[in-house]
Structure 1
Amino acid sequence: MSQQSYDVIVAGVGAMGSAACWHLARRGLKVLGLERFDLGHAMGSSHGLSRIIRVAYFEGSHYVPIVRRAHELWRETGELAGLKLLHITGSLDLAPEGGGPVESSLQSCLDHGLSHEVIDAAEAMRRFPGFQLPAGHLGLWQPDGGFVASEKAIYAHVGLAQARGAEIRTNEPLIDWTPTAQGGVVVRTERGTYSAGRLVITSGGWIADAVPALTRNVATVKQAIGWFSTRRPELFREGAFPVFILHVEEGSFYGFPLYEHPGFKLGGPHFGREPMDPRDQDRTPSETQVRLIRECLARYIPDAAGEPLTLKGCVYTVSPDEDFIIDTVPGVPQAVFASACSGHGFKFASAIGEILADLSTSGHSPFDLVPFSLSRFDA
């Protein structure tokens, strides 16, 4: 097999990998992106038309500087590609008072000076009459939240990267890779062998195959998303309804205003995710997850509780603490990876692509990546 040489090889051209390809190519580097499926496939966690982008972040204030940068980059990338990628709708975190998520989101707002408002259930329903909320719920309203057009975002990153000379090869999964004595890497696929000075691994549910050190610290699970018929679509149109995270006794669910699909999109339940092997080709969501989604709609968003129009499964890669893992491969500083985004990573993809480009070129990032280090699991 012939061997071609590149500055950087990116293994996995989904949300993070496509962004990395763009940020590396725009710096003038010779880039090869390898994707095991078609571009924009539905076998991972980047499909489904839209992904929430929240700035108030109950998962931790340390995420806020990165998501703010992601906001900037989604706008810039959309402008460069001639696409609207970032849709600002406002975001609403809804949870029982004292339950934690609203209080944590509020703390992130206070830590970073974000515009916000705490509202009770009655006010949330007055503003957004599509909701029927328990009396004890609070809402954290943050006007800068919204959603990213997820599939368009991948196409935009790849198109921009190709315009700068990046080579993207689809349906060509990485088989294995080895570091070289000269400080580079050799990557092997079924079609060829390639060499590069640096390797970026962003292969989602398959990442432990390429980074065995992750085997004990990542798990792959399947999450359900669905689009459902609405009785009153005017309540849920973009401009009238926000993106939201809803914490209720049935679980944690996330939803969107109507966008491109005639159905109302709801995903969840967050803690009802089911372990799976990503090599299993079946992406049909489980009956249990779909039942819980429909029960959530019937009880809390009844005007969107019609029959399902589309049901899909997403593969998530989850870490034990549900924080990301962004690091170099142990003992191989020329190989960097991003993984285990635990179901809340897409919004960051534009910025994580830039971070991976920084780590690949200078070895440093302007962001504090200590919370995302692999070594935290050794403590």
Structure 2
Amino acid sequence: MSTPRIAVIGTGTIGAQALWQLAKHGADVTGYELFSPGHSRGAAGGETRLFRHIDVENPEYLPVTDRSDLIWRELEEESGRTLRNLTGALAIGSTASAATRIALESAALLGSRAEVFSREDARLRFPQYRLHEDEIAILDKGAGIIFPERTVRSAADAALARGARILRECRVTAINQVGSQVGSQVDIVAGNGTERYDGVVVAAGAWTATLLPALAPYLATRRLISSWYLPKAGSTLDGLLPYLRTEPDYSYGLPTADGLAMKLGVGFRDHLPVESPDTAPLRITDEDLDPIRGVARDLFPILEDYPMRAQAYFEAYTHSRVEFLREHPGMPSVFVCAGFSGKGFKNAPVFGEAAARAALGLPPKSDSMAFILDAEHPSRPVPATYR
């Protein structure tokens, strides 16, 4: 049997993982990258991302994250690089919030790997945080920080070491399946001409709707902002844990690797809708920063409320908030990975594994992914609160 020839479009958060997994299976695999693995122009930037087991949307993600945890460790061993710093993280939320109730359900499933604190106990244990009167805190002991640029580059390098190829600074302009049947080959049109493959994985992030217009109704492409805050004079960030805060005051934050500043971000309703990252504004105004500065003032008495740095990133959400992992509706030899914002980075190894197996015609590794792979995806926003 001939070696399958597979293309991966995008070698970022998910694509680099899929490239590595395909190379591990011995496929003849080529990655197409608009920039270079580890760049900061898409979603995989900002120096730190959150790895957490506690989920605030669906406890079914817990076994998915446990599997992801194992693959992260495998990549660390294969690459020889430290990719995470798992010192724990907090989930903070109002007891009246449905998201907090889901977080508590996740904590119960984690057992000794999680600990719940009342507001009073949290104030003693985590004094850097100023919780609201109705809020609690959950310590996720196995959570912590992922270093995004380093992990993307490490997965890409591991794939290259196993025989994969990456075409850098190469824009794909068209994907055309030759025939409509399952198993039909696919032509990739890019700057270097046209190449034919047995299968294609598309992991183009915020460029997905531009590259595959048929997917546009299922996705919401957004510009989001991260900003970094220094401690006030006389204060320190020593011991400050990463956190996620649930609705109705959704935000997240992670200390920098050197512990000198705190990165903060807010949720979907404060992200700018964009057609494409190619045409979106990059300039950040004071008005853009207002929601994040409000988090600094509200939750962190130790932080200055004007950032030392701010940067724009681009992500895509599904309207269902469940990741889009399935065949293209009109091209069955093209497997699309899209809409990962919110949970994508921590579970990137599992999603990359699923994409690689699908491209090779292999069944899923376990049944734990069924609720994602079989999810229904509305072509317009669901009427519920959606971040």
Query: Following TM superposition, by how much is the alpha carbon of 1:374 offset from its aligned partner in structure 2, in angstroms?
Result: 6.3
Structure 2 spans left out of the alignment, 5+ residues: 383-387
- Equivalent pair of 2:237/2:261 in contact (CA under 8 Å): no
What is the aligned partner in structure 2 of residue 352 from structure 1? 351
Q: Give the TM-score normalised by the residue count of structure 2.
A: 0.89
SS in 2 for 1:215: helix
Query: Following TM superposition, by how much is the alpha carbon of 1:95 offset from its aligned partner in structure 2, in angstroms?
Result: 1.2
What is the alpha-carbon distance in structure 1 between the residues aligned to residue 235 and residue 16 of structure 2? 35
Q: Residues 63, 286 of structure 1: CA spacing in aligned structure 2 closer, same or farther, 3 A cutoff?
A: farther
Q: Give the TM-score normalised by the residue count of structure 1.
A: 0.91
Cα deviations by residue, 1:121-147 (Å, 9 ceiling, x for unpaired): 222221121111112111122211112
Q: Residues 283, 348 of structure 1: CA spacing in aligned structure 2 closer, same or farther, 3 A cutoff?
A: farther
What is the aligned partner in structure 2 of residue 40 from structure 1? 38
Cα deviations by residue, 1:273-307 (Å, 9 ceiling, x for unpaired): 12012222533344334122112112210212254
What is the alpha-carbon distance in structure 2 between the residues aligned to residue 283 and residue 145 of structure 1? 31
Counterparts of 1:312-351 in structure 2, within 5 Å, are: 312-351=311-350
Number of residue pairs matched? 372
Q: Residues 303, 92 of structure 1: CA spacing in aligned structure 2 closer, same or farther, 3 A cutoff?
A: same
Query: Following TM superposition, by how much is the alpha carbon of 1:324 offset from its aligned partner in structure 2, in angstroms?
Result: 0.9
Query: Following TM superposition, by how much is the alpha carbon of 1:373 offset from its aligned partner in structure 2, in angstroms?
Result: 4.2
Q: Counterpart of 2:340 in structure 1: which amino acid?
A: C
What is the alpha-carbon distance in structure 2 between the residues aligned to residue 142 and residue 233 of structure 1? 29
Q: Residues 109, 133 of structure 1: CA spacing in aligned structure 2 closer, same or farther, 3 A cutoff?
A: closer
SS in 2 for 1:73: helix
Q: Residues 344, 289 of structure 1: CA spacing in aligned structure 2 closer, same or farther, 3 A cutoff?
A: farther
What is the aligned partner in structure 2 of residue 255 from structure 1? 253
Counterparts of 1:274-293 in structure 2, within 5 Å, are: 274-277=272-275, 278-280=277-279, 282-293=281-292
What is the aligned partner in structure 1 of residue 208 from structure 2? 207
Counterparts of 1:1-379 in structure 2, within 5 Å, are: 7-111=5-109, 113=111, 115-181=113-179, 183-231=184-232, 235-237=236-238, 240-247=239-246, 251-260=249-258, 262-277=260-275, 278-280=277-279, 282-305=281-304, 307-365=306-364, 366=366, 367-373=368-374, 375-377=376-378
Structure 1 spans left out of the alignment, 5+ residues: none
Q: Note the aligned Cα RMSD (angstroms).
A: 2.3
Q: Residues 172, 88 of structure 1: CA spacing in aligned structure 2 closer, same or farther, 3 A cutoff?
A: same
What is the alpha-carbon distance in structure 2 between the residues aligned to residue 6 and residue 260 of structure 1? 44
Query: Following TM superposition, by how much is the alpha carbon of 1:82 offset from its aligned partner in structure 2, in angstroms?
Result: 1.3
What is the alpha-carbon distance in structure 1 between the residues aligned to residue 279 and residue 357 of structure 2? 34
What is the alpha-carbon distance in structure 1 between the residues aligned to residue 110 and residue 178 of structure 2? 43
Q: Residues 260, 350 of structure 1: CA spacing in aligned structure 2 closer, same or farther, 3 A cutoff?
A: farther
Query: Following TM superposition, by how much is the alpha carbon of 1:364 offset from its aligned partner in structure 2, in angstroms?
Result: 2.1
- Identity across aligned pairs (percent)? 23
Segment drifting more, 341-350 vs 103-112: 103-112
- Equivalent pair of 2:88/2:142 in contact (CA under 8 Å): yes
- Equivalent pair of 1:327/1:374 in contact (CA under 8 Å): no
